[in-house]
Every structure is written in structure tokens, then in C-alpha cells.
């Protein structure tokens, strides 16, 4: 009864009754509990204030939480002993987690002393991390094996990680900017003639006092110029491992998507480590493991098709794009745009334009499915049927973001480059047009992919259209080339396709063997511009590979 009364204090003031439960912990227990609580809250200042050397503790704890910023931590007291009224010692268990199967656990010992200001934790860096003293810092780092390569569908090396050397001008270290830029321009002239002394001086003037990147050089170019470059006052070189195309001629918006797919594989196989960075010995690994080497990737891109697309797309003076797909697999064979389109954004894969008559085959299919005249089909009805032909489906492809088409209202995330289409207009991307051709060729919605073995998944698959509907669409594509608007192309044996337009925009999409492709030209300077570009693409494709 006496113990109960001593533990509960009852205060009565102005009719208010308050119950306070006394803290039975000793001063040492409260100190260590509070220290651990502050650590678990990642409060460096709060924990440091409970130590004998707050300034040093704050610096170490701040670095620890920064160096291990992507981890979660829980310290627990496993032992606490009071030796006398003046000192004691404790043991903590530290448990860090940096993701699934990435755990680091350890024990540390510490001591407490009663100072003039009260009880404090005797500060030492290894009271929070083992062996952290001696000026060491702690870090969580990623560990990767050798990076994978990317090959094209024919086994040719497409992309590999190489060192990119960024040549940087630093005005603060440049006694004479004119002399520096003149010397650098002369050195770069054989490999980068457009980087002149005048252009560098102009950029320095536009960004006074700022460091600027003059040029980026592949290792094979830089190695011949290195001695001359590094000797120029005010010039520095920053080396960065970068995934780039092995063949300088191969450039495509698809390469960025392949980089994303490559990075996903590196992330999937990455290892991890916790290291103590020693001022003399360098990094010392105390936890983690080396990630296994990820497999090389085989892309669906065909270098020969890509080079043919490049030759064709630059023949047009307004924004233009070409996309080629293999109907049997859904593999993206080529994607390219000209400079005018590049300035507008992701025209080939996410640029949505009013489809106009390019959507006529889908209207015919919708009319057959609904038993009505194609001209009477609503935009919503058109969209429902289009899903069976690969348009408007919710595709997911590792590393690849794209749009195929949108119908009606609620057009979130639409990339538009020509005006503001009405809700009654169907919007189509160049990739969507190629998907449409591929789906007609195979008889159901094509499943696009950019890496072999990683096809698209679809959240909302659609039922294929009846065989007689597919046959009717194929007949339309044959007639359009043999007798219709695309008859300019009938010299290409086996080619079928549709020529379409909307205002000044021109479309052509078709099938040749196991290749479906689409050509789009915005603001075309002629009614047959897309057809002529398709003709050039097919003629370039017919050349021997070594001709490129």
C-alpha cells in the first residue's frame, strides 16, 4: 500500500484531479533511453547534446545519417550497468535496413559519466558504429559488377558503357580567356570543328563566372588529344561512364528507352555495401555483397532498318517520324525523327496528332462490328474497336514509355504539337500507326517490346476482331497501294498500306513482309510527302548493309 501511494501523486486544484505516474528510472537509464530515442529519430543535434562533446558528436552523427541516408535504423539497449554514482556502461544493438535482404546489424559499447552539467554519454564515434573513430566516415554504397552490353537483333554490338570526357572551361582558373579558347579550338578542330574559339567566348560571356562544358568526347577521340587539352590553362576534364551507341551512325529516340531498360537490369542485380572511408586506407567494407553481373541485353532494334529510317526521315524539311515494328513478335525495329521533330519532343513515340483519314480502316472495322455506316461511328465506339487493333491499350514495357492513340475526352498527358483538337477527333501517334499496321498484319493486337524476352504486358486486353473484319482491313490496305492514294508505292512487291491525311499532316502506314511501319509528316509541303518518304525508306532498306 505504501509503494502504491509513493508511485501515484494526486493533485487537487480548483476541483481538477490530476494523476501523475512517477518515473522510476534512474538518471542513467533516462539518459541512455533518451540518447537512443534521438538516434532512432535521426536527430543528430538532439543526440549530440546528450554527450560529453556535443560539437564533435554532432559532426559525426550528421555525417553518419547523411552517409546512410537511404537506410532506416533502430538502436536497442541490450545492457546497462551503473558502476557507481559517477559512471556506468551500456551496450547498444544497431539495426540498419537498406531494402529487402540488405540488413546490417552490430553491437557497440559506450559509457556514461556524471559531469558538472549532469549525466552524459562519453563521446566516441564508435559508440554508434564500430571502428568509426580515427577520422573515418561511414557510407552506404551501391556495388555493381561489370556493366552489360546491348546488342541489336542481329547480334551486332549496339550500345556499351564507355568513358565520356567532358572538357570544361573554368573562368576562375583562366588568366586569358581568349588565349585559352583559341588554343582549345585549335586542338578540337580535327574532331569537333563546330566548337570554335568564338563560340566558346560567346558562351563564357553569356554565363559570366560560370564553368561551361565545351564539348564531350569519346575515349577513342580524347586519347589522341589528352596531352594538348590538359595543358591549356583553365581547362579541366571530367570523366563519366556513359552508355552510348557503338556505331556513331546509330542515333534514335529508342536509345534512351534502351538506356532505361539497361538501368533497370543494373538496378535489379545491384549489390550493396556499407563502407568506412579511412583517410589513409580508403574504403573498408563492413557489410553487404557484390551484385552479380547482369546479362547482356539483346534489343529488338535492327541497325540496318534504323539506318534506312535515318536516311529517309532527313529527306523532309518539316517535322517527320518513322517507326518500324515486327508484327510476329512486336519488336520495335527502328524509331527515328528529323531535327525539326526533335525540337518538339517525343514526336515518334508520344506525339499525338489528329488522325483524320488515317483512322478510316478502324472506322470500317467499327462499322462492321456495330452494323452501321462507318461515317456514323462515334469517337467512343471507334475507341472501343481500336483497342482490338492495339490502339489505346494500357501497355507496360520495361524502360519504354509511349502513347498509341487517344479517343474522346479525358486526354490526360497528351503530347500535342498541332493546335487543340476537338473531343470528336481521334488522336494517333506515329508509333500507334505502326502498331495499327502490325495488328492488322497479325490479326490481333501486337505486343510491343524493345528488349528480346521482355514483351509488353497489358492491363486491359481486348478481344481480337472477327477474321472477316481483319480480312476486310487487309483488302483495304492492298487496294490503297494498288489502286488508291498510295499507288505511287505499288512497285514495292508485297507492300500493303494506307495513306491518310488531316489538314496539312500526312500519314502512311503499311506492311512489307514481317515489317510494319508508319511514316508521319507534320505540316507537309506536298500531299504525297509521307508516301515519298515511305518510298525512300523502302528503297534504302533494299540496299546491302555495307552500303550504309
Residues 6+ apart with CB under 8 A from 403: 349, 350, 351, 352, 413, 414, 415, 429, 431, 432
All 3 cell numbers of residue 505? 499532316
Burial class (CB in 10 A: 0-12, 13-18, 19+), 467: exposed
All 3 cell numbers of residue 216? 564531350
Helices (H), 137-241: 177-188, 197-206, 219-230
pLDDT at 15: 44
DSSP structure class, residue 127: G
pLDDT at 415: 52
pLDDT at 164: 93
Q: Using alpha carbons, list the distances in angstroms from residue 518 to 192, 325, 349, 481, 524.
A: 34, 9, 11, 14, 15
Contact 383, 408 (CB under 8 A): yes
Taking the CB of residue 240, how many other CB atoms lie within 10 A of it?
Answer: 10
Domains of the chain and any CATH numbers:
27-135 (3.10.450.100), 150-289 (no CATH), 303-547 (3.40.710.10)
Give the pLDDT of the chain (548 residues) as one tens digit per residue.
Answer: 334 333 434 444 444 444 445 678 899 999 999 999 999 999 999 999 999 999 999 999 999 999 999 999 999 999 999 988 899 999 999 999 999 999 999 999 999 999 999 999 999 999 999 999 999 999 999 998 889 999 999 999 999 999 999 999 999 999 999 999 999 999 999 999 999 999 999 999 999 999 999 999 998 889 899 999 999 999 999 999 999 999 989 999 999 999 999 999 999 999 999 999 999 989 999 999 988 889 999 999 999 999 999 999 999 999 999 999 999 999 999 999 999 999 899 999 999 999 999 999 999 999 999 999 999 999 999 999 999 999 999 999 999 999 999 997 655 544 555 555 665 689 999 999 999 999 999 999 999 999 999 999 998 899 999 999 999 999 999 999 999 999 999 999 999 999 999 999 999 999 999 999 999 999 998 889 999 999 999 999 998 876 44
pLDDT at 419: 55
**Which neighbouring-strand residues pair with 507?**
500, 520
**SS3 assignment for 67-93:** HCCCCEEEEEEEEEEECCCCEEEEEEE
Burial class (CB in 10 A: 0-12, 13-18, 19+), 423: exposed
All 3 cell numbers of residue 522? 507534320
Helices (H), 207-346: 219-230, 254-269, 303-313, 339-342
Residues 6+ apart with CB under 8 A from 114: 27, 85, 86, 87, 120
Q: Using alpha carbons, list the distances in angstroms from residue 147 to 74, 290, 292, 296, 502.
A: 34, 13, 10, 8, 46
Amino acid at each position: 500500500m505504501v509503494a502504491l501511494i509513493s508511485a501515484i501523486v494526486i493533485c487537487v486544484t480548483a476541483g481538477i484531479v490530476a494523476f501523475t505516474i512517477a518515473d522510476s528510472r534512474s538518471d542513467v537509464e533516462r539518459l541512455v533511453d533518451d540518447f537512443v530515442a534521438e538516434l532512432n529519430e535521426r536527430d543528430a543535434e538532439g543526440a549530440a547534446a546528450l554527450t560529453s562533446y556535443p560539437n564533435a558528436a554532432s559532426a559525426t552523427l550528421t555525417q553518419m545519417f547523411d552517409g546512410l541516408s537511404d537506410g532506416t535504423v533502430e538502436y536497442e539497449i541490450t545492457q546497462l550497468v551503473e558502476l557507481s554514482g559517477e559512471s556506468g556502461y551500456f551496450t547498444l544493438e544497431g539495426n540498419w535496413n537498406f531494402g529487402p535482404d540488405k540488413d546490417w546489424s552490430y553491437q557497440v559499447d559506450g559509457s556514461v559519466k556524471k559531469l558538472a552539467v549532469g549525466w552524459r554519454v562519453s563521446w566516441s564515434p564508435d559508440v554508434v558504429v564500430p571502428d568509426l573513430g580515427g577520422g573515418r566516415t561511414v557510407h552506404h554504397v551501391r556495388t555493381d559488377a561489370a556493366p552489360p552490353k546491348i546488342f541489336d537483333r542481329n547480334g551486332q554490338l549496339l550500345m556499351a558503357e564507355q568513358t565520356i570526357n567532358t572538357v570544361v572551361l573554368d573562368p576562375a582558373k583562366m588568366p586569358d580567356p581568349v588565349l585559352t579558347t583559341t588554343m582549345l579550338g585549335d586542338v578540337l578542330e580535327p574532331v569537333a570543328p563546330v566548337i570554335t574559339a568564338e563560340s566558346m567566348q560567346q558562351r563564357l560571356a553569356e554565363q559570366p563566372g560560370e564553368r561551361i562544358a565545351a564539348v564531350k568526347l569519346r575515349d577513342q577521340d580524347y586519347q589522341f588529344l589528352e596531352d594538348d587539352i590538359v595543358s591549356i590553362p583553365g581547362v579541366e576534364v571530367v570523366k563519366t561512364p556513359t552508355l552510348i551507341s557503338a556505331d556513331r551512325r546509330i542515333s534514335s529516340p529508342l536509345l534512351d528507352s534502351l538506356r532505361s531498360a539497361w538501368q533497370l537490369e543494373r538496378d535489379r542485380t545491384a549489390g550493396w555495401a556499407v563502407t568506412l572511408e579511412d583517410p589513409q586506407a580508403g574504403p573498408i567494407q563492413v557489410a553487404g555483397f557484390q551484385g552479380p553481373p547482369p546479362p547482356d541485353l539483346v534489343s529488338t532494334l535492327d541497325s540496318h532498318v534504323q539506318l534506312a529510317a535515318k536516311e529517309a526521315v532527313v529527306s523532309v524539311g518539316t517535322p517527320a517520324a518513322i517507326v518500324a515494328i515486327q508484327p510476329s513478335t512486336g519488336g520495335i525495329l527502328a524509331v527515328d525523327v528529323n531535327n525539326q521533330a526533335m525540337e518538339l519532343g517525343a514526336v515518334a513515340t508520344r506525339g499525338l496528332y489528329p488522325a483524320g483519314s488515317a483512322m478510316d480502316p478502324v472506322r470500317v472495322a467499327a462499322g462492321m462490328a456495330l452494323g452501321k455506316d462507318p461515317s456514323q461511328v462515334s469517337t467512343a465506339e471507334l475507341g472501343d474497336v481500336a483497342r482490338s487493333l492495339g490502339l489505346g491499350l494500357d501497355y507496360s514495357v520495361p524502360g519504354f514509355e509511349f502513347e498509341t492513340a487517344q479517343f474522346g475526352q479525358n486526354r490526360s498527358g497528351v503530347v500535342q504539337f498541332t493546335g487543340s483538337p476537338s473531343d470528336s477527333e481521334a488522336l494517333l501517334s506515329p508509333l500507334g500507326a505502326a502498331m495499327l499496321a502490325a495488328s492488322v498484319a497479325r490479326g490481333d493486337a501486337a505486343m510491343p517490346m524493345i528488349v528480346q524476352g521482355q514483351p509488353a504486358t497489358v492491363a486491359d486486353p481486348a478481344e481480337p476482331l472477327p477474321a472477316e473484319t481483319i480480312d476486310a482491313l487487309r483488302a483495304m490496305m492492298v487496294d490503297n497501294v494498288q489502286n488508291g492514294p498510295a499507288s505511287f508505292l505499288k512497285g514495292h512487291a508485297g507492300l500493303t498500306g494506307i495513306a491518310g491525311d488531316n489538314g496539312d499532316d500526312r500519314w502512311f502506314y503499311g506492311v512489307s513482309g514481317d515489317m510494319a511501319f508508319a511514316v508521319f509528316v507534320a505540316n507537309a509541303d506536298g500531299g504525297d510527302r509521307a508516301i515519298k518518304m515511305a518510298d525512300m525508306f523502302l528503297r534504302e532498306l533494299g540496299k546491302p548493309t555495307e552500303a550504309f
